[in-house]
Structure 1
């Protein structure tokens, strides 16, 4: 809770001034940098003065030997001693720079991390309507790329002007000490720069503001284009979109061009003025030396010091530009991250010690809601909804039924009126209460890229429940990361701890949680889909040896069942001494699967030892000839077929785009013969042959003689293959679990026979039966729960996403389940079944369901009919289903 309080306090408001933000969060570190900076100046002054001493006293001096600090030096010893001191000062000055720069880098990264964290937290506090006005394409760059320069500036904010200004002042003092006239010459042109540069820079800054604003719009438009690519293709508007993008780029181009003109004029002016310095020094200094008013050593030291003078002045000018850029960026970002109606941080992050279930009833009193354009969506809605009843909300388009669901789930805050649950004002409850006691499922639900199980359990991850047990190096690294999080003002919660609220899910341990997930999936009729995904999933035998062993037991039971029930002809098992007509040529040759993720079995044939084996057995020529015959057949079959013809799927090793290339290759063979092909062309033909599945493709390009030689080559590869090749192949072994093969393939340990009537259906039924008899269903379901759903759940269908979203809501065991057209992608008959099963699962708890099909409301305890943002009818289905009533009209239309 300590970190909780600290972070809530830190995110109440962001400073509108970048400098105040810097002082507020990094004053102590800035003071340390300032102390280091000031401490370096005496060493710098001595360093500047030492060349004069070396020239005047050690090289041109007389009256040696001399005594210093009790030591006697002759001229040469004195020169070497001064040079050693010079070298030591070089090291000291560079060491100061190194320490200061590293500390500045560390400070900049901490402050940048803090700023991004603050901005991300404010995103979490944005009112939901704000996300309809502002796209992700505009917000994301502000948190990632646009604030990047701010980290560099924050580190430089005080240290750089202090260091560079102090260095400049030290050099000027040195110059005036040598000769006041030389000092005046050194600073004579600075007033011009001080006057002109800010004026010119101000215009550059304004142009920079415009550029940032234009690029945000470009980013937003690119995001919209990617989202709407289907509409662009279907409406043939690519040319329009290109013209629009070109127009936006044109505006950006001319702004950037003007920035370059002004920015490089500033640079030209600075460089020109800086080059006038030596002119004054050679003129005035030479005159003074000739007149005997200045020593040669002093002139050399002055010229050397002036060279050093340019660097801090240049850095100060660059700092001014960076300061103005950073100020503009910070002000723009802060303005974008302060929309009206932001959620209070206490509501977002407070965590009450105990959260009691809701009891009583839901009461809406005069609730009104309007959108950003002040269009009234709900007007004076008053309702009493019991927390132990199931209520259907129905209405036509624009009736306000969806908005009512959002109000009840507190995803929208009413402009007027009040909502209470069990006497508690819904608006005053923290998210910790609302998020755990209320569940909401809409028509479209976002899933995060990751495992299905992680998405199902997302609603149970509120705070870390069980800390990690760490020791040794792992503990030291975590404490280091924790301390750095504190220094950067970030939260101190461990993302790698166990976050699952086992009490909420109703079980202890991951096994109980898995059982509850499967129960929820059964309720929404998604268990069969997850089972199918699990069959295609994998198990890591090293991480889960017990589950892998159980799959191997299932393999034996499956093959025993095939033999005893006369189904053996449906599956051709892998046998090391036999050819498998239903496996590819590559599988027959290598008799295994690739160990590496994403590696193709055919690619392994390019290994030098495999190529050697193929050459020795004269198989390379056979496979090239087989590939040539396949290519010729494909071209003959596909020449006049459209790209989407079913033959392309059946012969999946060649696509319509590849046909012209193979045609060219065949023409060359016809003219020049196979011997004229280079190694790459031969590999292309061999690749075709390796993908051939004889029983499926039925091309008859391999005779028994070639198959026997492939089996001989297989034996040599397995027995004599080098270690690096064997490390890339997991050979088929009836006694071992194959990590890179799916659970289904591990149980089958072979290939389903092509051409047998209903082979896949019969094998699938027997597979499911054996899995149940071997009690392997939990293993398969666990693998299905590990299925990666893709970005936004894109690897699941719309109906699967909606069902999974409802299952996720059920896992929370909410007191109030709010749904808004949550089954719109599910077919009609399944919707009826799903409503019944959900009502049974939520017996004794509250459901408020905004239905897409009003007829489904007849099975609910209560019905609310919405029209034009108002309540038209409310009561039991029998009470409101009267002739001419709004409910009767809706159900008859539906």
Structure 2
């Protein structure tokens, strides 16, 4: 087999193979290649503006020399007699029309340039992103995301403005400059020569000075990328930085990066502003020639005063286009450096061929066997796989074992076609694996690595991710916005596929509808041991966040009724009964707070609740009870360390609250009448707040007695009466309906668990599962669990849950071959065994190649391959190899 490295790198350099399209090294070639028609249109617009500009220069001269001076007036215009005043008005109106027309064309020109530039920027970014998908795995591993991301976002941003201006700006400003100069030369040749006398020195000096700035810009970009990498390391390694107290060292590194960037930028500023100073100085010298030479010519009568005034006005307008040309040159050079630096990073060797990412019309199932012949893999210096040969029928399950550096992980990656062999050949059935499109390898092969990546979104999004290969049905939207999206995508060279279309390929997994798909998902989740986790996520979904129809609501209420009939020790939420297993504030509220001021911790300062306490005669009583709580707590926790877990177990006060209470009690004892009403309002509010926290069944202080409970029930009723059942502040608990603020489980339970009975919790959970099944709600709850958000990179899931989801995702697409690379590391030995057995049973009749992290799990496989130092030491049936003293037995025993 031909060395793919050699083929790919050669094609990448030569750029003569459409399978390896290269990025244009010249930014102008890139612009013209994709915007040639647009640039021609911009040039046409530019040409149209020039006559208007010339007219706007010539009319003021005629106004002064003819209309105002009254000389050489035309007798008639278009057959109409002309007076001096009418001629002045005619020229003035003509001047206004020329200015408006010129301004309108410039406006359209600038808008079109902006659109053209943004389209090109969109194309360039899309091209770069598409190249990431073709990066070899080694390049991906070596390149930190903190470097790649700003390359596509921040570093390409200046290209948008430049691309629109690449031809139009120099053409427009150059044409303006030539128009003004031609006007000046028409007035007098010497004045024309004076106006351009200092251009040659500028044209010579500025490129020389700009070359130094370009080199500094290149160094700045490289240094900023180094800072980005360092920041990325800090974010990812924050725990280790704290664990090793190396924050000061990392700050010193950051300071070093910032210092180097500062030094480079300081030098850039010095050089750039010297160039600007030089330009401004030379621009101010030219008027000297106009005043001296022009004045002399006017005195001699060789040039009219109107002509000199017009020349001075024209020269005033020459400055901006000349400065714009110089500015464009500087910006262009700076942007060209960035463009080349970005382009260099996106043309690594061994890029995946473009044709391999194009899907065939039909993807057939794999058949036959995976066959490797003399396969080696590695870089130019080392080889991790050396001359390996094996065959695995696609109905066989084979384990690969070996120590560190054995090459088993690379063999599994080669089998999954995530990497390409540097020599040798792999065939799957009749397919040459190196030449097989990704549509085949990605759909017919399941891959589970040691750390599967979980994409931001839901469980379902990640579970079905292997089915998002191509849109199976367009979005039902033929709106003008959608047509505009497609047109802009085509104009920008982007994908016209709509991410909002239906991408879920049900046929790929052999199901007919969404219900069958969910059932298949449930089976796969059970195999991956993730079913219970997803079920619990569904139970934890708030009613307000779920799509509840009338039938589902009645089922949940029926489940609540059946659960209550079981007679478990749960204090049911009853509007007429005080619940001793929840706090005073929760009893008063007796609902789910919608407004922040009705959150339980905010009730002590809630004006409405305060008024109701006064009405019920509880406001002062709460203050005295608060003093009682404070006295009891200071006695109970006297001498206890503030960080003791006793505070958490009692959960009424914290270690930080204790000194506050002690200080309040000291101030109370210092008052004349020792009345809590004498304390400051802030102290009184603190004391009352602890009464709101009391849970009678947990704290057992004897403070919330029957009398107080009866009064609190009165406050509860008053609050509901004041707010009304339908309000924006509180969703009140109602035994006859669901509470939108509570989750599914809490709506079924509809009560509070008793304190001090941890064994009862498992019984209650089991009972909830029973009633959920009895009313046939499990499928619905599982569907809610599938819609649970996983967070950024699966941050809301545990490492074990992420690993299980990786298995489920691979199995969901019903692969012909499952390849696993050390994916069981987070699990204990028993769980590893059960997972392997379940997955092997699910994959019966299909192939598995499993690189095990520990040889001890080899007992779950009939066939095994033993590797060491990139070579296969032995292969055979597990029991036979274990029966003799060989490499496998040594690995297992060690």
When the two structures are superposed, what TM-score results if normalisation uses the length of structure 2? 0.91
Distance 1:130 1:416 in 2: 19
Structure 1 residues 184 and 885 mapped into 2: Cα distance closer, same or farther (>3 Å)? Answer: same
Cα shift at 1:591? 3.0
Partner of 1:133: 142
Deviations, residues 647-680 of structure 1 (Å, cap 9, x unaligned): 454466876677778888888888898778578x
Q: Residues 542 and 766 of structure 1: is their aligned pair in 2 closer, same or farther, counting only changes over 3 Å?
A: closer
| Alpha carbons of structure 1 residues 347 and 691: separation in structure 2 relative to 1, 3 Å | farther
The secondary structure found in structure 2 opposite 1:29 is helix
Contact in 2 for aligned 1:392/1:849 (Cα 8 Å): yes
SS for the counterpart of 1:129 is: helix
- Note if 1:356 corresponds to 2:364: yes
Cα distance in 1 for residues equivalent to 2:775 and 2:560: 10
How far the C-alpha of 1:194 sits from its partner, in A, is 1.5
Shift, 1:276, TM fit:
2.6
Do the aligned residues in 2 keep the contact of 1:558 with 1:767 (CA within 8 Å)? no
Deviation, structure 1 residue 34: 1.0
Alpha-carbon offset, residue 638 of structure 1? 7.1
Matches of 1:651 and 1:461, distance apart in 2? 51
**Pairing 1:182-331 to 2, within 5 Å after superposition:** 182-331=191-340
Report what 1:580 is aligned to: 579
Whether 1:500 and 2:476 are equivalent positions in the alignment is no
Pick one of 714, 718, 721 that aligns with 1:719.
721
1:561 aligned to 2:565? yes
1-side partners of 2:738 and 2:890: how far apart? 61
Deviations 1:667-710 (A, max 9, x none): 8888898778578x887777666555454455666666665555
Give the stretch that moved more between structures: 353-362 or 409-418.
Answer: 353-362
Aligned equivalent of 1:3: none
After superposition, give the CA deviation of every residue in 1:832-851 in whole Å (9 maximum; x if it has no partner): 11111111111111111111
1:538–1:594 distance in 2 versus 1, CA, 3 Å? same
Alignment partner, residue 4 of structure 1: none
CA deviation string 1:499-519 (max 9, x = no partner): 112122221222111111110
Structure 1 position 452 matched with structure 2 position 459: yes
Match of 2:408 in 1: 401
Task: Give me the whole-angstrom Cα distance separating, in 2, the residues matched to 1:687 and 1:296.
Answer: 89
Is 2:420 the counterpart of 1:413? yes
Offset at residue 35 of structure 1 (A):
0.7
Separation of aligned partners in 1, 2:453 and 2:655 = 36
Contact 1:540 1:548 in 2 (8 A): no
**1:515-547 CA-partner distances (Å, limit 9, x unpaired):** 111101111222122222222123457844156
- Secondary structure at the aligned position of 2:503 is classed as strand
1:366 aligns with 2:374: yes
* Pair 1:686–1:510, CA change in 2 (3 A): farther
Residue 462 of structure 1 deviates from its aligned partner by 0.5
Which residue matches 2:766?
765
2:535 is matched with which residue: 514, 522, 531? 531
Alpha-carbon separation, structure 2, partners of 1:365 and 1:859? 27
Is the 1:558–1:748 Cα contact (8 Å) retained in structure 2? no
Is 1:514 the equivalent of 2:518?
Answer: yes
In 2, Cα distance between the equivalents of 1:419 and 1:214?
42
Indicate if the aligned counterparts of 2:156 and 2:339 stay in contact, CA closer than 8 A: yes
Question: Does the aligned pair in 2 maintain the 1:541–1:547 contact within 8 Å?
Answer: no
Judged with a 3 Å threshold, the aligned counterparts in structure 2 of structure 1 residues 722 and 878 are, in CA distance, closer, same or farther, namely closer
Alpha-carbon shift at residue 556 of structure 1 (Å) = 3.3
Change (3 A) 1:657 1:484: farther
Alignment of 1:543-554 (within 5 A): 543-546=547-550, 548-554=552-558
2:443 aligned to 433, 436, 439, which one?
Answer: 436
- 2:36 is matched with 27
Q: Return the offset for 1:128.
A: 0.2
Q: Which moved more, 1:48-57 or 1:813-822?
A: 48-57
More displaced stretch, 597-606 vs 747-756: 597-606
Q: Distance in 1 between matches of 2:836 and 2:282?
A: 81
- Write the distance in 2 (CA, Å) between the matches of 1:542 and 1:878: 52
In structure 2, the residue matched to 1:853 is 854
Query: Structure 2: how far apart are the matches of 1:698 and 1:265?
Result: 80
2:21 pairs with 12, 16, 36, which one? 12
Residue 839 (structure 1) aligns with: 840
Conserved? CA contact 1:362–1:419, under 8 Å: yes
Q: How many residues align?
A: 874
Quick check: 1:424 aligned with 2:431? Answer: yes
Tell me whether 1:783 sits opposite 2:791 in the alignment: no
- Quote how far apart the aligned CAs of 1:597 are: 11
Preserved contact between residue 833 and residue 860 of structure 2 (Cα < 8 Å): no
Q: 1:39 to 1:117 in 2, by over 3 A?
A: same
Q: Distance in 2 between matches of 1:386 and 1:166?
A: 72
Change in 2 beyond 3 A, CA 1:260/1:580: same
Please state how far the C-alpha of 1:12 moved relative to its aligned partner.
2.7
Supply the distance in 1 between the matched residues of 2:598 and 2:98 (Cα, whole angstroms).
58
Cα deviation, residue 395, structure 1: 1.3
Distance (whole Å) between structure 2 residues aligned to residue 234 and residue 730 of structure 1:
45
The alpha carbon displacement at 1:598 in A equals 13
Q: Say whether the 8 Å CA contact 1:357–1:815 is kept in structure 2.
A: yes
Cα distance in 2, alignment partners of residues 280 and 635 from structure 1 = 93
1:375 aligns with one of 382, 386, 391: 382
Q: Output the CA distance in 2 between the equivalents of 1:44 and 1:683.
A: 76
SS in 1 for 2:469: strand
Equivalent residue for 1:39? 48
| Residue 158 of structure 2 corresponds to residue 149 of structure 1 | yes
> What residue ranges of structure 2 are gaps of 5+ in the alignment?
1-16
1:551–1:743 CA contact under 8 A, matched in 2: no
CA shift at 1:605, angstroms? Answer: 7.8
**Structure 1 residues 182, 442: CA separation in 2 closer, same or farther (over 3 Å shift)?**
same
Equivalences for 1:794-805 in 2 at 5 Å? 794-805=795-806
CA RMSD of aligned residues (A): 3.1
Structure 1 residues 803 and 597, CA gap change in structure 2 (3 angstroms): farther
1:870-885 superposed matches below 5 A: 870-885=871-886
CA distance 1:53–1:436, shift in 2 (3 Å): same
Q: Distance in 2 between matches of 1:809 and 1:524?
A: 10
Q: Where does residue 3 of structure 2 map in the other structure? A: none
Are residues 658 and 336 of structure 1, via their aligned partners in 2, closer, same or farther at CA, if it must alter by over 3 Å? farther
1:92 to 1:703, Cα distance in 2 relative to 1, 3 A: farther
Q: How far, CA to CA, are the matches of 1:688 and 1:33 in structure 2?
A: 74
Cα distance per residue 1:253-282 (max 9 Å; x no partner) = 111111111111112222222223333333
CA shift for structure 1 position 856? 2.5
Match of 2:755, SS state, is coil
Greater CA drift, 22-31 or 762-771: 762-771
Alignment check: 8 A CA contact 1:609 1:721 kept: no
Name which of structure 1's ranges 183-192 and 98-107 shifts more when overlaid on structure 2.
Answer: 183-192
CA shift, 1:604, in A, is 8.0
The unaligned stretches of length 5 or more in structure 1 are 1-7
Alpha-carbon distance between aligned partners in 2 of 1:203 and 1:671, rounded to the nearest angstrom: 77
Separation (CA, whole Å) in 2 of partners of 1:269 and 1:414: 59
Distance 1:76 1:255, change over 3 A: same
2:626/2:691 contact within 8 Å kept: yes
Q: 1:127 to 1:578 in 2, by over 3 A?
A: same
Structure 2 residue matching 1:146: 3-state secondary structure:
coil
How far apart are the structure 2 equivalents of 1:636 and 1:668?
A: 17
Cα distance in 1 for partners of 2:670, 2:193 equals 87
C-alpha separation in 2, matches of 1:208 and 1:618:
75
Measure how far apart 1:718 and its partner are: 3.1
Give the Cα–Cα distance (whole angstroms) in 2 for the partners of residues 678 and 598 of structure 1.
19
1:449–1:653 Cα change, 3 Å:
farther
* Greater mean alpha carbon deviation, residues 173-182 or residues 431-440: 173-182
CA distance in 2, matches of 1:158, 1:601: 65
The alpha carbon displacement at 1:750 in A equals 2.6
1:286–1:324: structure 2 CA closer, same or farther, 3 Å change rule?
Answer: same
The Cα shift of 1:373 comes to: 5.7
Shift in CA distance, 789/624, structure 1 to aligned 2, threshold 3 Å: farther
In the TM superposition, what is the alpha-carbon distance from 1:886 to its structure 2 partner? 0.9
- Rounded Cα–Cα distance in structure 1 between residues aligned with 2:668 and 2:188: 89
Give the drift of 1:791: 1.9
